[in-house]
Amino acid sequence: MRVLGIDPGSRTLGWGIVEGKALKYRGIAYGTIKSNPRESFSKRLLKIYQGIEEVIEKFEPDALSIEEVFYAHNVKVALKLGQVRGAVLVLGEKSGLSIGEYSPRLIKQTVVGYGNAEKHQVQEMVKILLKLKKVPEPHDAADALAIAICHFHNIGIENKTKKA
């Protein structure tokens, strides 16, 4: 199975591809899609949509895992993040991908073992778990890989539960 992890952002969206089964996986690719904050928000959404569409066409994932909306002090930021997530979710459905949504706390708990982990801790654990030579940067891409890893762990738990 190949999973596309998405760390949604309206300025920088992180993406990562992880391949494997249950708890045996490896990193394939990662990157970011950056949009210009001076452009209209609709143009930024289109750039994000087209960028993820290219990633899906190139790497042909089976599943999409995305971070859920977290509590934001700024309502405008939360709304924009929701719109970015919406665009990515629609693209995932259009592409026929199974979709998993995970809270930031669950992602950190799964990857680091601590739900309040710092960015650098997530990056280090992603490097270790995927046996990468260096820490994935920027942190948006590392977070996307962590989200994909979280999906593998949750799929593994679901499979064990079904067998029991």
Please classify residue 98 by burial: count the beta carbons closer than 10 Å to its beta carbon, then call 0-12 exposed, 13-18 middle and 19+ buried: middle
Chain-centre distance for alpha carbon 108: 12
**DSSP labels for 47-70?**
HHHHHHHHHHHHH--SEEEEEPP-
- Furthest-apart CA pair in the chain: how many Å? 53
Decide: 143 and 134 in contact? Cβ < 8 Å.
no
Question: Catalytic site residue 140?
Answer: yes
Annotated active-site residue in 93, 140, 143, 158: 140
Choosing from 19, 57, 60, 67, the catalytic residue is: 67
Alpha-carbon dihedral 19, 46, 83, 37, rounded to 10 degrees:
110
62: annotated active-site residue: no
Active site residue 137: no
Q: Do residues 32 and 6 lie in contact, with contact meaning Cβ atoms separated by under 8 Å? A: no
- Which of 7, 93, 124, 143 is the catalytic position? 7
Residues noted as catalytic: 7, 67, 140
